[in-house]
Amino acid sequence: MAAVLLTRRLRQNRESGGDRNRFRYVSELSLFAFILSSVIASSCGGRTESLESRVNAYWQARIQGEVEKAFTFEVPGSKDKAAYLKELLTAPIVYTEKTIVAITENGNEAEVKLQMKYLLSGLAQSVTSSTAEKWVKLRGQWYRQPQTDGDAGREKERG
């Protein structure tokens, strides 16, 4: 009896195109799943951030006092982590705002011009300063190049 019902059901499916419709549905569903997984994979793994987004993230970390996070934006191996954290945590300066003025990319190197607002201990008002930073691209990712004493050319204004 089960064989008769199964045979009758198969005949009905063939007559109504059920097998073709089912095959088409499964094929389309599989294709959709493949495309969706490809989009998710490409947006997650191996994607590099733009220079502007890296600069913004670095300075957001500095403004919020997240010095360990800020350290991850520095060129790997350029500074000792403990010394870097101590330097930032004991600095008499508190950044409050940053504005990117210009970004000049040249291959794997870039110069980022910024206008900063910050507070210095002992001053009642904020200070505005312009500065330029060097960023380098290593293994597809942008990193902040540490400034040497000769690099620190800032123009200060009382604000």
What whole-number distance in Å separates Cα of residue 146 and Cα of residue 15?
74
Task: Check pLDDT > 60 for residue 135.
Answer: yes
Task: Check pLDDT > 60 for residue 42.
Answer: no
What whole-number distance in Å separates Cα of residue 156 and Cα of residue 159?
9
∠ CA 107-111-117 to the nearest 5 degrees? Answer: 155
Residue 26 pLDDT class (50, 70, 90 cuts):
low
Share of the chain above pLDDT 70, in %: 62
Task: Check pLDDT > 50 for residue 80.
Answer: yes
More confident call, 80 vs 28: 80
In angstroms, the first-to-last Cα distance of the chain is 92
What's the chain's average pLDDT?
A: 78
What's the DSSP call for residue 149?
Answer: G
More confident call, 123 vs 54: 54
User: Strand (E) positions, the chain?
Assistant: 93-106, 109-120, 127-138, 141-144, 155-158
More confident call, 9 vs 43: 9
* pLDDT, mean of residues 18-45: 51
pTM for the complete prediction?
0.64
Question: Using one digit for the tens of pLDDT, what is the confidence trace for 88-101?
Answer: 999 999 999 999 99
Q: What's the pLDDT score for residue 39?
A: 38
What's the DSSP call for residue 152?
Answer: -
